[in-house]
């Protein structure tokens, strides 16, 4: 049997083969479980339309379940000389079951097969990311509530500006994650549509039942137009990458804050000693390397949509091999984002807050607006009050009792964390991961 599904009588030059295969074998390991799930749904449909016999379907499904278990255990290997995951699965089936293993490819192309694998992989990864974002969100809300009465300086232009609080600071990043998941939900809904049956982008003369495979795999719907299904490759990855980049942007900004607030000049927070690193020459150092790396990794992740865009931009309709390269930047990115989310959650659970920052009178000017407002409430025109307080600060006569009375929605005294939590629960429910989970378990007989 030829190791390549498409190989006929002429063997490709070895150098050409190595260049065109590239890192596909390495990247396809990410897709193994999803290739098997897609094939299980596909052959179940083939049997329903008379392209497989019932006994053939039964033995194929049983062996595919065995291969799936080996993939779960990390034992699946794409052998030397085998082009990709699709070829390896078919080769293993044919070795074990004979010619019946060759029948699984009827009515599909590697084009719609890899499209399907990518979508199944991506939606599973999105589920993991949403879980990790939710874990971080809960920690941020909990810390916001814990420190809601602890004031800290707010900044504009990196100049002390107005009173803030740790409740506001932690809560701000929590709410940012809610918006990030709204974006991710839109990307998930695009991803959760079935391309299988589009074949090479022009459908098939076999009487395929695309509705059946859509239901078997727990998709919300199918990509109906077969040309569009193929055009969706690169587009799906780009839009998911944009959603990942929004999460990475939140983490990067948070990481910058933590690095800055942890330094001795600010001394707003203290990282756990066992979560910092030292210096080979300076014995006093406790470096926030984790957050510096999170910042760098997340800044790199924010370039991912542009990388995908530049690979896929201006391609004509129909498949082009350029799209293969997207896998190399897209597939590993999920683990990098999940690592950053998990590390941030781990450390923020234990971060310590300086509850006496404002004891230092260098921060006294942040209460200037409070004093202006107090004078206005006493009847003085705003412009007069503003000028008076400004002159007092310049003359060194300004004083204030360092208390604030903010009560409107979202302010220091009314964080609205309950509303933000309700919003997060609303967006989380909108993903409907249960549908895809139940479909996959049913396929696997679990």
- 260, 368: one domain: no
The confidence score (pLDDT) of residue 17 equals: 64
The confidence score (pLDDT) of residue 18 equals: 67
- 184, 294: one domain: yes
The confidence score (pLDDT) of residue 2 equals: 45
| Inside any domain, residue 1 | no
| Inside any domain, residue 76 | yes
Bridge-based pairing of strands 221-222 and 193-194 is parallel
| Inside any domain, residue 415 | no
CA dihedral sign of residues 222, 228, 234, 239: negative
CATH code (residue 128): 1.20.200.10
- The angle at the Cα of 357, spanning 165 to 143, to the nearest 5 degrees, equals 40
Question: For the chain, how many structural domains are there in total?
Answer: 3
d(CA 191, CA 212): 18
Q: What is the token pair recorded at 250?
A: 């939140």
- 101, 136: one domain: no
Contact 93, 104 (CB under 8 A): yes
- What CA–CA distances, in Å, run from 41 to 44, 66, 104, 195, 413? 5, 15, 10, 13, 55
For the chain, the first-to-last Cα distance in angstroms comes to 33
- 367, 273: one domain: no
Paired residues of 163 in beta bridges: 153
Over residues 276-319, the pLDDT tens digits come to 777 778 877 788 889 999 999 999 999 999 999 988 888 788 77
pLDDT tens for the 446 residues of the chain, in order:
445 554 555 666 677 666 666 667 777 889 999 999 999 999 999 999 999 999 999 999 999 999 999 999 999 999 888 888 999 999 999 999 999 999 999 999 889 999 999 999 999 999 999 999 999 999 999 999 999 999 999 999 999 999 999 999 999 999 999 999 999 999 999 999 999 999 988 999 999 999 999 999 999 999 999 999 998 889 999 999 999 999 999 999 999 999 999 998 999 999 888 877 777 788 777 888 899 999 999 999 999 999 999 888 887 887 777 788 899 999 999 999 999 999 999 999 999 999 999 999 999 999 999 999 999 999 999 999 999 999 999 999 898 888 888 889 999 999 999 999 999 999 999 998 999 999 999 999 98
User: Burial of 127 by CB count in 10 Å (0-12 exposed, 13-18 middle, 19+ buried)?
Assistant: middle
- 45, 183: one domain: no
- 83, 172: one domain: no
CA atoms within a 13 Å half-sphere pointing along the CA-CB vector of 265 = 2
d(CA 376, CA 168): 25
- 190, 52: one domain: no
Among 311, 342, 358, where does a domain finish? Answer: 358
- 96, 128: one domain: no
User: Burial of 232 by CB count in 10 Å (0-12 exposed, 13-18 middle, 19+ buried)?
Assistant: buried
| Inside any domain, residue 63 | yes
CATH code (residue 64): 1.10.275.10
- 137, 94: one domain: no
Paired residues of 164 in beta bridges: 152
**Which helix (H) or strand (E) segment is 151 a member of?**
strand 151-156
| Inside any domain, residue 60 | yes
By residue range, what is the domain housing residue 333? 122-197+230-358
- What CA–CA distances, in Å, run from 107 to 55, 60, 111, 221, 361? 19, 16, 12, 19, 76
| Inside any domain, residue 53 | yes
| Inside any domain, residue 140 | yes
Over residues 317-374, the pLDDT tens digits come to 877 777 888 999 999 999 999 999 999 999 999 999 999 999 999 999 999 999 999 9
- 158, 271: one domain: yes
Among 106, 136, 161, where does a domain finish? Answer: 106
| Inside any domain, residue 400 | no
- 73, 187: one domain: no
Q: Above pLDDT 90, what percent of the chain?
A: 77
pTM for this predicted structure: 0.91
Report CA Rg, the chain. 28
Instruction: Concatenate the DSSP letters of all residues of 161-229 into one string.
Output: EEEEEHHHHHHHHHHHHHHHHHHHHHHHHHHSEE-TT-TTTT--SS---HHHHHHHTT-SEE--SHHHH
- 101, 169: one domain: no
């Amino acid at each position: 049997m030829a190791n390549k599904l498409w190989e006929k009588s002429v063997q490709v030059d070895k150098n050409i083969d190595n260049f065109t295969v590239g890192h596909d074998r390495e990247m396809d390991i990410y897709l193994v479980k999803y290739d098997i799930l897609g094939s299980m749904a596909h052959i179940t449909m083939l049997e329903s339309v008379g392209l497989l016999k019932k006994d053939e379907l039964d033995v194929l499904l049983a062996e595919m379940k065995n291969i799936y278990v080996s993939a779960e255990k990390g034992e699946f290997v794409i052998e030397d000389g085998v082009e990709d995951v699709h070829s390896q699965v078919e080769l293993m089936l044919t070795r074990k079951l004979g010619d019946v293993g060759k029948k699984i490819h009827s009515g599909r192309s590697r084009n719609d097969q890899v499209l399907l694998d990518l979508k199944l992989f991506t939606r599973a990864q999105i589920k993991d990311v949403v879980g990790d974002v939710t874990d971080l969100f809960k920690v941020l809300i909990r810390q916001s509530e814990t420190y809601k009465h602890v004031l800290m300086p707010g900044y504009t232009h990196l100049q002390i500006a107005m009173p803030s609080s740790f409740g506001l600071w932690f809560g701000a990043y929590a709410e940012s994650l809610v918006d990030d998941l709204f974006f991710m939900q839109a990307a998930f809904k695009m991803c959760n549509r079935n391309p299988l049956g589009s074949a090479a982008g022009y459908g098939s003369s076999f009487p395929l039942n695309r509705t059946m495979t859509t239901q078997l795999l727990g998709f919300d719907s199918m990509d109906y137009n077969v040309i569009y299904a193929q055009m969706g490759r690169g587009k799906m990855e780009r839009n998911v990458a944009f959603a990942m980049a929004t999460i990475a942007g939140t983490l990067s900004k948070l990481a910058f804050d933590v690095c800055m607030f942890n330094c001795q000049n600010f001394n707003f927070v203290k990282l756990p000693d066992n979560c910092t690193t030292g210096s080979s020459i300076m014995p006093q150092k406790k470096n926030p390397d984790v957050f510096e790396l999170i910042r760098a990794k997340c800044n790199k992740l924010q370039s991912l949509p542009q990388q995908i865009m530049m690979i896929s931009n201006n391609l004509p309709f129909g498949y082009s091999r350029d799209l293969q390269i997207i896998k190399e930047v897209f597939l590993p990115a999920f683990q990098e984002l999940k690592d950053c989310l998990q590390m941030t959650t781990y450390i923020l659970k234990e971060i310590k807050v300086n509850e006496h920052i404002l004891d230092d009178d260098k921060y006294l000017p942040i209460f200037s607006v409070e004093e202006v407002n107090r004078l206005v409430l006493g009847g003085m025109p705003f412009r007069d009050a503003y000028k008076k307080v400004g002159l007092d600060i310049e003359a060194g006569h300004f004083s204030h009792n360092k208390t604030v009375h903010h009560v409107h929605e979202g302010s220091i005294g009314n964080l609205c964390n309950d509303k933000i939590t309700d919003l997060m629960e609303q967006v989380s429910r909108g993903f409907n991961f249960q549908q895809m989970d139940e479909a996959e378990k049913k396929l696997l007989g679990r």
